[in-house]
Amino acid sequence: MTVMEDTYTFIGAMKDGSTVFMDIAALNSETLARQHCHALLHEHDSGDLVELWRGAALIAKIDREVLSGQGPAAISG
């Protein structure tokens, strides 16, 4: 059985909507993509959230407050 990779786009943004970083990665699952969102927020102090995209579909918005335990688990797209 072959595991198919999906290409995900990660857009780091501020609450005002301005983009501060972007990353693209081919990963085996949405779970890994969500984990990558958390890693990006740890690496980049400049963004308030990461938008997770697969193709033209917004999968989720992961807010920095999630990492500090002060906000909702995720804001679904």
- The structural domains of the chain, with segments of one domain joined by +, span 6-69
Among 59, 69, 2, smallest CA distance to 36 is for: 59
Mean pLDDT of 49-72: 85
Q: Tell me the β-bridge partners of 24.
A: 9
Outline where the chain has alpha helix (H): 30-43, 64-68
pLDDT confidence tier of residue 74, bands split at 50, 70 and 90: very low
Structure tokens at 43: 């690496």
**pLDDT for the residue 66:** 74
Question: How far is residue 53's CA from residue 50's CA, in Å, rounded to a whole number?
Answer: 10
> Mean pLDDT over residues 44-56, rounded?
93
